[in-house]
Amino acid sequence: MKHLTDRHIMAAMLMAAFVALPASAAETEAESNAEGVATAPVAAEAASQAIAQASSEAESPASQISVDGYSTASAQAEKAPSWWKQIRVNGAVQTEFHFPIKDDLTADQGYAGKKVLNNTYFDLAITAPYLSLGGRFEFAKWPLPAFYDTPGYAGWGVPYLWATGRYKWFQLTAGDFYEQFGSGLILRAYNERNMGIDNSIRGGRLKLNPVSGLYLTALGGTQRYYWHHNPAIIWGGDAEWSIDETFSKAFNYNYGVNVGVSYVGKSQSQTNYYLWDADELMKLYFPETVAAFDYRLKLRLKNVNILAEGAYKSEDPCAYNNFTYGNGHAELLTVSYAKKGTSAFVQAKRSQNMRFLSDRMQNDLQGNGNINHLPAFSMTQTYTLAALYSYATQSDGEWAFQAEIGHLFPRGTALGGKYGTNVRVSASYISGLGHMPSVAYQKAAPGSDGYRPAYWQIGSLYYADANVEIKKKLTKDFSLSLFYLFQKFNLYVLQGHGGMMTTNVAVVEGQWKMAKKVQLRWELQYLATKADEGDWMGALVEISFAPHWMVTLTDTYNNSRKVDGAWLSDRKNYYKAMVTYTYKANRFSLSYGRTRSGYDCSGGVCRLVPATNGLSLTYNYTF
């Protein structure tokens, strides 16, 4: 990185944080903090959608555009503005400052003497007919507590630049980009800031839509790893054909067929490695090229949708799988049903040795360096205590099953009452393939094929849950939600300590519209368990004054812990107060309080975050 003085660094940071331009649509993502309070950080995927939309509008036929007062010699030009008048500028700013305060409970010692920690992101995109370009400035020289101890995370600069040219059914991108083939089993390059993940690809991408319903993608480049790029060269292609779109006259809206196939190759020049194993020096020969394939079929049959997808990866020894040579594969099947008032789905997945890395020597459990993504087949929890023990996908191998059904009992029925009742029931069951990933799998001898259990063999339980949620509007101004979670969680497999634990979580949530622009929301939560840290209770009170103000108070209390074999109360308390102000496209939030240490999970990826205490200031702006 180029060296600048602290004065120059802070000037660049403040410029990125407080730039002001006319407001319009731009990139945003929705995330929830540990207390369930909505925040609005920036998402690169959302930005891409906004930019694509703006670009599409800019490329609309001239006959569809009319600008008052504009005229030239030709009648056609009178209907269309000049090229430069079609230019659009979109962007977003997200910055968060944290002022740590020493606290015995959170063991916060001021982060090596730093008085303020900060993450800042400034995205900018310019779109015009046939061309769009943009980039992102990031400042994380002294990153926020969740990322402070992550090796390689600290830094600042412009890690993301891109330019895209479009003409009719042709689109070419040069620079940095995000992409996903199918469900992501062999390729998913994405950005999720609250998890510290940004594995964008730097290189080139070509997208073609030569006929209706046929979509082709080819790409190549290297993958971002924090402030560097990993050594492997990645290339690949994807073809997706919506047959019902191509032959629209032969299909009606109730039926559809979509087929897809993908290929991703990885080339890394390091082809041999010396390793001590059982006091013996071994020389391993690595394949220079690893190939991965994906194939999928989607069917729409009136109210039923079916997705069948499979993936295969050739032998790929790496640090994560202890340099074993067995191939990898994954298969998933999802069947969903939707009709007015009712929805349901059931899905199953089997995966083995499917961690696909852009550097075989890395073992980054946070998700950076992953070329692909394996979705978690467990419910995404939004309540604080329900999310306390979230599942992380075990990429060395797992069987996963999930099912859910939701139904709206209409008004005027016995269960619907005056305003209707919404009920949702779901369950998950996830197990190993006959081995424990952090034990037997790691003991597989380097140079071997690793553990290869029979396909239908189901191993020990990793995770299981059952969820019931009832939402009921009791009066015109008051609604109530009841939620219950039963959970089996293998601490040893998922967190590296303890054994199998059972939790029961109950939540009551109320929403009361006190006045036309005033609403009160509250939560009461309780988690009961005889393992790990014992029982927890939580509460939230949130009052909003539309359209500008919101005040939130939360408290999470660990009311029992096991100490020397006895369950004791130790007043382990995590409280937080937050004030949020929104004006047009600007959003400010100020909070003070404690955050407990634990695993923050999203989409099957988890990261361990430390306990913190202090003052935080967040600003978001889109234009």
**Rounded Cα–Cα distance for residues 508 and 570 (Å):** 25
What pLDDT shows up at residue 563? 58
CB 623 within 8 A of CB 26: yes
What's the pLDDT at 497? 86
Distance CA 337, CA 329 (A): 27
Is the separation of the CB atoms in 370 and 384 below 8 Å? Answer: no
The confidence band for 21, taking pLDDT boundaries of 50, 70 and 90, is very low
pLDDT in tens, 396-428: 899 999 999 999 999 989 999 999 999 999 999
Structure-token pair, residue 214:
């046929």
Exposure of 187 in the CB half-sphere (CA atoms within 13 A): 31
Residues in Cβ contact with 283 at an 8 Å cutoff, skipping those fewer than 6 apart: 272, 273, 274, 275
pLDDT higher than 90, residue 185 = yes
What span, in angstroms and rounded, lies between the C-alpha atoms of 218 and 227? 25
| Single-letter amino acid, residue 121 | Y
**48 band by pLDDT with thresholds 50, 70 and 90:** very low
Mean pLDDT of the chain: 85
**Residue 231 in this model has a pLDDT that exceeds 90:** yes
Closest CA to 420 of 407, 432, 411: 411
pLDDT above 80: residue 35: no
Lowest mean pLDDT among 124-133, 220-229, 367-376: 367-376
* Least confident piece of the model among 224-238, 333-347, 435-449: 435-449
Q: Specify burial of residue 110 (Cβ count, 10 A radius: 0-12, 13-18, 19+).
A: exposed
